[in-house]
Amino acid sequence: MIFFPNSKINIGLRITGNRDDGYHNIETIFYPVSLSDALEFVIPDQIIDKDIIKVTGIDTGGEPDDNLVIKALLKLRRKNHFPFLKIHLHKAIPAGAGLGGGSSDAACLLKVINRHFGLNIDNLNLKAMALELGSDCPFFIDCVPSLASGRGEIFTPVKAVLSGYYLVILNPGVGINTGEAYQNCRPGIPSTNLLQLIELPVVEWKGQIINDFEDFAIKKYSVIGDIKEELYNCNALFSLMSGSGSSVYGIFSDKPKLPDKLRDFVIWEGFM
């Protein structure tokens, strides 16, 4: 059986405070995007004594057995019994790109195994398991546009504000360490929350909807800022880095004509 875990972008990302558990409180909007990996599992004809995973496509930079998909399986097996599986994960979402690819893969695995083997785990408990795998992982259980608060696990659904717009996602191929990004940001309470800001026309988001990680990321890798500037030169209504980086997206009213120097970075584009 083959499934297609999709990605997300962040519309804004504010770090609103430190937490006693070592995490940070944030405010962001997770918005699902059709850029997806491919995840397949089969029950082998011959008995095997552990789950086996093969990862192809974009290099994730880690060992297959350390993949979040395997970690999700192990969590399911703590209280549930089902056969050991052969899994093929084909990566099209870059790792460490601010697009939630690994978290989406893990959440997809939790959902499809629960459904296929009739484990009867409700969404609340699936999200609790997902949260143990990553702060953004629970979002991909329902995967609808949502304001995320807390450490990123408290969701308030929002309307599909990007419907009808053309989205371009670009990845410069540089990695941002999330821990380092947090260390270089100063938490603060925004004067205006995202629920109010997304009610504005998209063309008015520039300068009002921001990503607190972006200044640090641009200082570290100027190419991120260069991509943003070029997107605005191509008449983007709005552009922002997603998550802790390094992917950058541009929102357009129609399909843009991008210069070759930007085309080399494009990993997904299409109408929303």
Buried b (16+ CB within 10 A) or exposed e, 179-192: eebbeebeeeebee
Cα–Cα dist 65/243, whole Å: 25
Between 123-133 and 68-77, two packed helices, what is the crossing angle to 10 degrees? 130
Cα–Cα dist 29/8, whole Å: 10
Q: Verify cis geometry, omega within 30 degrees of 0, for the bond prior to 246.
A: yes
Helix locations, the chain, DSSP H:
68-77, 101-116, 123-133, 139-142, 178-183, 194-197, 214-220, 222-233, 260-263
Would the CA dihedral through 203, 206, 210, 214 be positive or negative?
positive
Cα–Cα dist 162/9, whole Å: 11
Cα–Cα dist 149/260, whole Å: 38
Q: What residues are annotated to the active site? A: 8, 136
